[in-house]
Amino acid sequence: MHPKKKLSRAGGAAISLASVTVFVFLWFLGGRLNLFSPLLLPPPGEICLTAAEMLTEGYRQLPLWYHVAVSVGRVFGAFIPAVLIGVPVGLAMGMFPVLQALVDPFVQFFRPLPKLALIPLVILWLGIGETSKIFLIFISAFLTILVGCAAAAGGTDQGRLRLGRALGATDRQLLRYIVFPGALPEIFTSVRLAVGVGWTTLIAAEMVAADTGIGWMVLNASSYMRTDIVMLGIILLGLTGYILDTIIVAVQRIVVPWDGKS
């Protein structure tokens, strides 16, 4: 192995695929050799059977895809307003230090706060319906985007700002022509992080009186010791998150083709 030696895309993918295959095989072998209790760690075969069963019969009278769709819907319901509000407000914070100073204490207080701690208050204020669930995810995603965009706008190259001003740009034009496009790569990074954080908060959100969703399915199955369903849920959560991230990276390549090329 050579540190930092470049891999071709296909070469990297082949190595990743091999590592996952070996991992699943060891897991399978461990199950066969009874190295661990199938109740605590169900082998891959059993999870496949559970998946097949759930695909035909669903979980708690609802098809599996429905639970996935509900969870993705909640995350997007929170995520879209988080982007629409977070990006412009974050950029404005980065451009105007006064605004940043006004808002920053609240942002820095709430951002590291475990969102589980907010559940009682959110239930009291917003009830136990979808609004509470979406709000919890929104808060996490919004704060992540806000901080990322503020840093991106605040880090706008001094030379570019001077160029804009010298060409007669107004503050609004600076935002549109210089700050926003220049911040796009970092905006995408913060959106990727926000999807991750939002997806993480899903479990907290689906602890609020839910009866659908992948997060809820995992919590619900655990109380019946159905570790196979718990594992299946975890795999689905991981895969969905991975797919969402891949989609954002693909969009980023189209929107910011110049990123990383100087």
Nearest CB to other proteins, comparing residues 235 and 256: 256
Rounded CA gap, 180 and 232, in Å?
A: 41
Contact with other proteins (CB under 8 A): which of 168, 223, 224, 254? 168
Contact with other proteins (CB under 8 A): which of 95, 141, 178, 236? 178
103 contributes a contact to other proteins by CB under 8 A: no
165 contributes a contact to other proteins by CB under 8 A: yes
Tokens of 210: 């839910």
Strands (DSSP E) along 82-204, which ranges? none
Contact with other proteins (CB under 8 A): which of 169, 207, 219, 235? 169
- Please give the torsion angle defined by the CA atoms of residues 64, 69, 71 and 75, in that order, rounded to the nearest 10 degrees: 160
> Please, what is the minimum distance in Å from the beta carbon of residue 257 to other proteins?
8
Q: Is residue 137 a contact partner of residue 81, using CB atoms and an 8 Å limit? A: no
Contact with other proteins (CB under 8 A): which of 159, 223, 224, 254? 159
Rounded CA gap, 145 and 115, in Å?
A: 16
Tokens of 215: 């997060």
Q: Is residue 245 a contact partner of residue 195, using CB atoms and an 8 Å limit? A: yes
> Please, what is the minimum distance in Å from the beta carbon of residue 262 to other proteins?
6
Nearest to 137 by CA among 84, 204, 216, 88: 204
189 contributes a contact to other proteins by CB under 8 A: no
Nearest CB to other proteins, comparing residues 190 and 201: 190
Contact with other proteins (CB under 8 A): which of 3, 56, 254, 258? 258
110 contributes a contact to other proteins by CB under 8 A: no
How many residues lie near other proteins (CB under 8 A)? Answer: 20
Q: Which stretch binds other proteins (CB under 8 A): 63-71, 109-117, 171-179, 188-196?
A: 171-179
Q: What is the full DSSP assignment across 228-253?
A: HHHHHHHHHHHHHHHHHHHHHHHHHH
Residue 50, number of CB atoms within 10 A of its CB: 20
Nearest CB to other proteins, comparing residues 165 and 192: 165
Nearest to 244 by CA among 86, 120, 68, 112: 68
Identify the burial level of 178 via C-beta atoms within 10 angstroms of its C-beta, where 0-12 means exposed, 13-18 middle and 19 or more buried.
Answer: buried
Contact with other proteins (CB under 8 A): which of 73, 177, 189, 192? 177
166 contributes a contact to other proteins by CB under 8 A: yes
164 contributes a contact to other proteins by CB under 8 A: yes
Contact with other proteins (CB under 8 A): which of 182, 193, 219, 245? 182
* Site for other proteins, rule CB under 8 A: 159-160, 162-169, 173, 177-178, 181-182, 184, 256, 258, 261-262
